[in-house]
Structure 1
Amino acid sequence: MLDLTKLAKAMQGISQHLSLEAAASRQRVELAQELFADACTQQAELVNKQQKWRDRILFSIATPVEPLDTAVDIPIPPAVHTVIATDGSQIAPNQHEIAYCYLLNIGRVVLHYGQNRQPLLDSLPEVFYRAEDLYISRQWGIRTEEWMGYCRTASEATILAELALTGMRDRELSSSVPLLAMVDGSLIYWFLEQLPLEARERILPPILDAWDQLKEAGIPIMGYLSASRSGEAINFLRLQACPHENPDCVTYCPNLVVEKAPCQMLDPLRDIALWTFSLKPGQRSTLWRSSHRILDLYGCHTVYFCYVHVGTEIARVEVPAWVAENPALLAQSLSLMLAQVQKGYGYPVALAEAHNQAVVRGGDRARFFALLEQQMIKAGLRNVGISYKEARKRGSIA
């Protein structure tokens, strides 16, 4: 139980700390705007430096593929269109429960607009209980809980492609109806970079196979990030702020912690600060190509991103290369995304509904284990029940 009286005393210094942080943040924003203005006039030179010294730079920098000061109005979406989304949730394994297993639940949403068709709102649960599912990740030093999350990411991509292709094959759905497949979060899976090769080969190929199917069908996929904390674009300004002739971190700053490097005076400023004051509602920023090293494995699906003023915030939007390099497809995708945000009062309605379909609440968890207990009793198992520790935690005699 939380003691609110003691909590109030512990929080007394927060307001003063936040006031100081706000003042420092305003100074960093002003400095970023100055560096941004200078970078606009030297963009080509900075991009050349980035490409030349990429292997000597110790931080990830995105590459602008349009003028830095680009601000493009997003077009009005077509009245007839379809939006597809998936999201996932899970019940983690617990040795104190009646059985050591885990569940993945993938929410599915298909919303049709201007077509007089019923939406799809449901979820697909899958239970993992075999030893090869529960313990396979331990050979790579990965906890089962982490591995479960990685598998969920692959399942979300696979089911998203299945939904999209089913919609394309539906006779009632005309080929002229625009489709957009959306996921919550980034398309750049940084966690893959730290995985052993054998473990990575079980997660990334199914995702890329799903994206291959979407590309072949001409259905764009988009990752939507609300309140993004990415600093890839801000890092481009560090090239402008570098006090040395060449951005050779390995030579000039080999023993410095990255946060203390002379070019890092903007930290902890994030990308969205660059466009908070320059973009109007309904506009997108310049398009950037992410240079994160894991994208070397993505092939034709390397990720591009831009920032969009959706009215309530500056959102980061990510698409694969084959969408970004098709101006008409990109503009159409952004228009459908913006319509979703407006319908969802600040957040894409398809993503919100996919989350609501996927989320496993306390009552769902209890029913899951109740069904599991019934199956175990039917199978003739005895002494089915939770551990004494779990039983005592669920009730108190104090």
Structure 2
Amino acid sequence: MLDITKLTGQLPAISKHLQQEAQASNQRLEVAQKRLAESVLAQETLETQQEEWRDRALFKAAIPLEPLDTCQDIPTPPYAHSVFATDGSQISPSHHEIAYCYLINIGRVMLHYGQSLFPVLDSIPEVFYTQEDLYESRQWGIPTDEWLGYRRTVSEIEALAEMAYRWVKPPGAHDEPNLALVDGSLIYWFLENLPTPARNQLLPRIFRAWEQLQAAQVPLMGYLSANRHTEAVRFLRYASCPYNVPDCQTFCANEENQLPCQSCEPLRDTTLWQTLLSPGQRSAIWRSQSPILELYPEEFAIHFCYVHVGTEIARVEFPAWIAQDIELLEQSLGLLLGQVYKGYGYPVAIAESHNQAVVRSSDRARFFALLEREMIKAGLPNVGVSYKESNKRDSIA
């Protein structure tokens, strides 16, 4: 039980700290706005420097593909269209339960507008219980709980691709615009630190799903709410460099304190673009330079832009093949913005897919009750939870 009386004394210090952070952020924002104005005037030169010297840089900055001060109005979505989304949840494995296994539940949503069609809202559960499922990741030093999260990510995108592909195929079956949405980033940073054999179990499956969506010409977008990215602001560091060339390895490698070009960091991209964009507008398109993207095929290199959705500045990510088709990109952003408005500040399809996926405590209890019944029917002895789990559920205090 949380002792509120003891906690209350700590809150003034937190409030004071947050106030100081807000003041510092405002100062960094003023510097960033000045650097942005300078960068707009010298953008071509800065892009050339980035191209020539980024292998010597101590930071990774995204590459702008449009003028830095772009504020493009997003078009109204067409009347008839369809939106697909998936999200996942799980029951993690526990040695204290009646059986050591785990469950992944993928929520699926298909919403149709202007077509007089019923929506699809369901979930697909799958139980993993074999030795291979439970202990395969141990050979790479990856705990089962962690591996479960990675497998869930793959299952989400595979379910999304299958649902969208089956809907639009055969060609001409449904010619209305479509959009596939996921909650979160399309840049899978967690793969960076995985051993190659483990990564090869995951990434090819993700790309096969993406190929399905590309073949069906269903745009894929990742929606990031309240994100903390700084890779667009980091591009402004080229304008802040006090040296003739931005050769960080030569001039700044031995700097112990803040580097000369870090005058506006740490500042989130959303904080800066909040001052530029109006509701219903997007920023310039950027190409991410995250190291993990070196493993992505060129057509799947991740691009992004920032969108003012009215309630916040959201980061929207999409593969290169969408960024290269500006008409398709603008149409997809219109569909996405329509979803945000329908969801009162958050894409309704993603929210509903989460609601379909979530595994509540009552669902967990029913799952293990069903499993217990099957184990008893099979004649297995000593079916039950550990004494630790039993006492946690029934407090004696």
In the superposition, the TM-score normalised over structure 1's length comes to 0.97
Q: Does 1:68 align with 2:68?
A: yes
Q: For the residues of structure 2 that align with 1:383 and 1:333, how far apart are their CA atoms? A: 55
Supply the distance in 2 between the matched residues of 1:170 and 1:380 (Cα, whole angstroms): 49
Separation in structure 2 between the aligned mates of residue 268 and residue 368 of structure 1, nearest angstrom: 45
Partner of 2:67, secondary structure, is coil
Q: Which runs of 4+ in 1 moved over 4 A?
A: none
Query: Following the alignment from structure 2 to structure 1, what is the Cα–Cα distance between the partners of residues 255 and 145?
Result: 34
- What is the aligned partner in structure 2 of residue 35 from structure 1? 35
Matched with 1:178 is 177
Counterpart AA for 1:290: S
Superposition deviation, residue 155 in structure 1: 0.8
2:292 to 285, 291, 294: 294
1:24 Cα deviation from its structure 2 partner: 1.0
1:246 alignment counterpart: 245
8 Å CA contact retained: 2:222, 2:316: yes
Q: Cα offset for 1:59?
A: 2.0
Q: Deviations over 1:170-209 (max 9, x none)?
A: 79x8442000000000000011111111111111001111
The DSSP-based 3-state class of the residue aligned with 2:228 is: coil
Q: What does 1:227-246 correspond to in 2, within 5 Å?
A: 227-246=226-245
What do residues 372-392 of structure 1 show as CA deviations (whole Å, max 9, x unaligned)?
A: 111111111111111111111
Q: Deviations over 1:218-244 (max 9, x none)?
A: 110000000111111011011111222
1:276-295 superposed matches below 5 A: 276-295=274-293
Worse-superposed segment, 383-392 or 279-288: 383-392
- In structure 2, what is the equivalent of residue 189 of structure 1? 188
Contact 2:161/2:210 (<8 A) preserved:
yes
Say whether residues 1:383 and 2:389 are aligned partners: no
Could you list the per-position Cα deviations for residues 349-376 of structure 1 after superposition, in whole angstroms to 9, with x for gaps in the alignment?
A: 0000000101111111111111111111
The percentage of counterpart residues that share the same residue type is 61
How far apart, in 1, do the equivalents of 2:372 and 2:263 lie? 57
**Unmatched 5+ stretches in structure 1:** none
Aligned to 2:134: 134
Q: Which residue of 2 aligns with 1:159?
A: 159
Partner residue of 1:107? 107
Distance 1:183 1:285 in 2: 20
Letter in 2 for 1:358: A
State the one-letter code of the partner of 1:17: H
User: Amino acid of the residue matched to residue 141 of structure 2?
Assistant: G
Q: How many angstroms apart in 1 are the aligned matches of 2:252 and 2:136?
A: 41
Q: Specify the code of the residue in structure 1 equivalent to 2:37.
A: A
Q: Residue 314 of structure 1 corresponds to which residue in structure 2? A: 313
Q: Report which stretch shifted further, 303-312 or 45-54.
A: 45-54
**One-letter amino acid matched to 2:103:** L
2:235 is aligned with 1:268: no
The more displaced of 10-19 and 350-359 is: 10-19
Residues 168 and 175, structure 2, Cα contact 8 Å, conserved in 1: no
One-letter identity of the residue aligned with 1:74: I
| Aligned residue number for residue 205 of structure 1 | 204
- Displacement of 1:256 in angstroms is 4.3
What is the alpha-carbon distance in structure 1 between the residues aligned to residue 46 and residue 380 of structure 2? Answer: 68
Distance 2:375 2:259 in 1: 59
Correspondence for 2:368: 369
Q: Distance in 2 between matches of 1:348 and 1:249?
A: 41
Per mean C-alpha deviation after superposition, the further-off stretch among 259-268 and 300-309 is: 259-268
TM superposition shift of 1:293? 1.7
Structure 2: which 5+ runs fail to align?
A: none
Q: Deviation per CA, 1:142-191: give whole Å up to 9, x if none.
A: 111111111111111111110001111379x8442000000000000011
User: Larger deviation: 3-12 or 300-309?
Assistant: 3-12
In structure 1, how many angstroms separate the alpha carbons of the residues matched to 2:371 and 2:170?
36
Structure 2 counterpart of 1:362, one-letter code: S
SS where residue 201 of structure 2 aligns? helix
Give, in whole Å, the separation in 1 of the partners of 2:369 and 2:169: 39
Aligned-residue RMSD, C-alpha: 1.4
2:232 partner SS:
helix
Distance 1:98 1:252 in 2: 61
Shift of 1:396: 1.9
Shift of 1:252: 2.4
Q: What SS does structure 2 have at the residue aligned with 1:370?
A: helix
How does the TM-score come out when normalised to structure 2?
A: 0.97
- In the alignment, which residue of structure 1 is the partner of 2:150? 150
- What is residue 394 of structure 2 aligned with on the other side? 395
SS in 2 for 1:260: coil
* Deviation, structure 1 residue 247: 2.1
Give me the whole-angstrom Cα distance separating, in 1, the residues matched to 2:395 and 2:71.
Answer: 59
SS at match of 2:87: strand
Q: Secondary structure at the match of 2:107?
A: strand
User: Over residues 74-131 of structure 1, what are the superposed CA-to-partner deviations in whole Å (9 max), with x where a residue is unaligned?
Assistant: 0010000000000011111111111111111110000000111110000001111111
How many pairs does the alignment contain?
396
- Tell me, in whole angstroms, the C-alpha distance in 2 between the residues paired with 1:127 and 1:267: 45
Structure 2 Cα separation of the partners of residues 250 and 95 of structure 1: 50
CA, structure 1 residues 256+143, in 2 after alignment: closer, same or farther (shift >3 Å)?
farther
Determine the C-alpha separation between the residues in 1 that align with 2:289 and 2:60: 6
Find the residue that maps to 2:9 and give its secondary structure: helix
Of stretches 312-321 and 242-251 in structure 1, the one that deviates more from structure 2 is 242-251
